[in-house]
Chain A
Amino acid sequence: MAILNLLLEHRDVPGITNIDVWEAHGGYEGLKRAAAMERQAIVDEVKASGLRGRGGAGFPTWIKWNGLPKNYDQPHYVLCNADEGEPGTFKDREMLLKLPHAIVEGIIIAGLATYSKVGYIYIRGEYTEPAWQVRKAIDQAYQRGYLGKNILGTGHDFDLYIHMGAGSYECGEESALMSSLMGERGNPRLKFPHAPLPTVAGVWQAPTLINNVETYCAARWVLANSAEKYASYGTERSKGTKIMSVSGHIARPGNYEVEMGTPLMELLHQAGGVINGRLKAVIPGGSSVQIKTAEDCEKINLDYESCGANGTLLGSGGFMVFNDLTDIVQLMKRTAEFYMHESCGKCTPCREGTRWMFKVMDRIASGAGQQGDIELLLSIASQVDGRSYCGLGDAACWPIVGAIKAFRSEFEYWIEHKCSPVGSRFFPPQVEAVNPILALSAR
């Protein structure tokens, strides 16, 4: 088990963003095969592949696809979540840039399977360049008749539009994304079981399918090849591959597609190993998941179950590597600052809790920590976790609780000695005296 390029197979082919080159490499075969199948058979194919959502939660994809009403009585919508914002993750950016046709094809297949006539790709506002590639891919797909009226003689119409976000991490959460698509502030909504699932009442209260970029690409691969082949990769409960975005203190950062169940250390080795020191810690799935020590990394395999059993998550695949000169406390202070900035402010526990966690982290990491601050952090975290509409509040707590669990001695060292245990220059001295508090409030 190691590097296995299914989705990223053609990423380095010159001109692959052009539809001619894409078709020469088996492009739109999945759509042609799906068009010849019964609608239910498409869903069954996805079910047989065992594909699970690649946006972070790992929810079985076929259940969403199967949940929409199977008729044209009311409008349905297909949404593609390309609002990638998780620190450490950049797989969607590369796929949008290099394989836009795979995404477009996957969305059309999903539209066909769910009786949806309109699809939207929600791309984050910063991704202008990737969005242009998708724009061109959509135009070419219209020219070839893969989009528009009566696709490939199925009698099914499908239009695909791009919706640009405008800079909000929160909009990567599905209900906030739907609010944003409807022209509102990107606030989340109540979730199941307190409110209907998006497949029943999503955007504009219509049945809505929403998946991540990578999920649509994987679904396309399943339709273009076969479910059996996809299911033959990976572990028993996590099928197929996962794209890991490797960054940090690593020799060759980049996107690596690995088979599910690959040992974590194997990926580390493939990416060239740790630079400027020895391995200290890894965050395997984006900043929202728990940090793991070097010893724990030996035990972890990259699949949903193994990560879960070891107290972390595979998440969105933002694989960050830290060498032994990294100061975990300052790292967590920066993480807390990120969540403080990105909390949308709708739910009080998250809005206030993320601020308090940052204040306490800032106090510790600036050498003013007091005895009991660790307990205070854990207490705040326990009052935020699970108490807001969406997962942002939870995601703000997990890394800090995880770091206290794994590196408690470093927090204690900071509180006792008012300095870094590793002498790290994470927030280096400034060239000219600029008050950091002023700099923060000026933002």
Chain B
Amino acid sequence: MTSTSYNALTDTFIPKPIAEPQQADRFSDAAIAELEEIVTHYPERKAACLPALWIAQREYGGSLTPGAIREVADRLGLSYTEVEGVASFYTMYNLKPRGRHHVEVCTCLTCALLGAYDIVHRYEHELGVTMGGTTEDGEFTLSEAECLNYCGGATVIQVGDKYFTGVTPENCLSLIEELRKSQQFTPALLADSIVKIQTPGASTSGGGSFAAQDLI
């Protein structure tokens, strides 16, 4: 399969071979149905690019490999570079593999005032990685987030799609302990299922935020 690129000088579409070696599509039947449902929300297929990338991130196990981007491009009739451009713009699409738990510490103004950098340094010490790094066992990815907009509950830590509020340098390590025990896989990949179903009454609950003191 080839994708095309647009040449503005000649006003033509030029077929372009894909650099990525061919891989089998990995969207499940349910994911394809979900994508086709989402496409009907918009006047054109291209608009479903963001939700399609959310689905791809889930189907490909938490990160967008070149194969995932190629599959999204094929399914939406876009070029590979166009989808890659979108995927690389937004920070929540993981272009490289992340750990089982993606711990994002908000270090923006209010959180920094109330000790976010102390927490960051404790985590770096505890996990043995610097910001943006993944532990060797693949359990944790630690990164710094820009404002998560729950400044009233500073310091805020986001793990996957869950917010943990009121974290202090004193109690922050209990969160890591709790995550070590948890069986779940928590990259941010649940957001897509919200847009999924338009059928009335079909929602199930999801997400949730926990105060840090609940863990202790």
Do these two chains interact? yes
Report A's interface with B, CB cutoff 8 A. 75, 84-90, 92-93, 120, 124-126, 128-129, 131-132, 135-136, 139-140, 142-143, 159, 161-169, 180-186, 204, 245-249, 253-255, 287, 318, 320, 322, 326, 331, 334-335, 338, 341-342, 344, 426-428, 430-432, 434, 438-440, 442-443
Q: Kindly report which residue of chain B lies nearest to residue A94, judged by CB atoms.
A: B152
What are the residues of chain A within 8 A of B25 when measuring CB–CB?
none
List 5 contacting pairs A-B, 8 Å CB cutoff, sorted by A.
Answer: A84-B149, A129-B206, A183-B48, A248-B109, A431-B122
* B194/A90 in contact, CB under 8 A: no
Alpha-carbon gap, A438 to B150, bound state (A):
28
Q: State whether A166 and B110 are in contact (beta carbons under 8 Å apart), knowing that A255-B152, A341-B146 are contacts in the complex.
A: no
* B152/A245 in contact, CB under 8 A: yes
**CB of B26, distance to nearest CB on chain A (Å):** 20
* A135/B109 in contact, CB under 8 A: no
* A442/B131 in contact, CB under 8 A: yes
* A142/B149 in contact, CB under 8 A: no
Chain B residues touching A, range: 35 or more
**Candidate in B108, B154, B206 with the most chain A CB atoms within 10 angstroms:** B108
* B147/A86 in contact, CB under 8 A: yes
Q: Kindly report which residue of chain A lies nearest to residue B93, judged by CB atoms.
A: A166
Q: Kindly report which residue of chain B lies nearest to residue A429, judged by CB atoms.
A: B121
* B125/A431 in contact, CB under 8 A: yes
* A442/B133 in contact, CB under 8 A: yes
Q: Decide if B75 is an interface residue (CB 8 Å cutoff).
A: no
* B130/A90 in contact, CB under 8 A: no
Q: Kindly report which residue of chain A lies nearest to residue B41, judged by CB atoms.
A: A161
Q: Looking at the complex, which one of B43, B125, B151 makes contact with A88 (CB distance below 8 Å)?
A: B151
What are the residues of chain B within 8 A of A143 when measuring CB–CB?
200-201
**CB of B115, distance to nearest CB on chain A (Å):** 8
Alpha-carbon gap, A88 to B93, bound state (A):
24
Alpha-carbon gap, A334 to B116, bound state (A):
12
Q: Kindly report which residue of chain A lies nearest to residue B192, judged by CB atoms.
A: A164
* A338/B195 in contact, CB under 8 A: no
* A253/B85 in contact, CB under 8 A: no
Alpha-carbon gap, A182 to B122, bound state (A):
41
Among B1-9, B10-18, B49-57, B176-184, which stretch is in contact with chain A?
B49-57
* B124/A75 in contact, CB under 8 A: no
Alpha-carbon gap, A307 to B198, bound state (A):
43
**CB of B2, distance to nearest CB on chain A (Å):** 21
What are the residues of chain B within 8 A of A430 when measuring CB–CB?
121, 124
Besides A126-B148, A185-B85, A287-B109, 7 new A-B residue pairs in contact (Cβ under 8 A), listed by A number = A124-B149, A125-B191, A183-B86, A342-B146, A432-B121, A434-B121, A434-B124
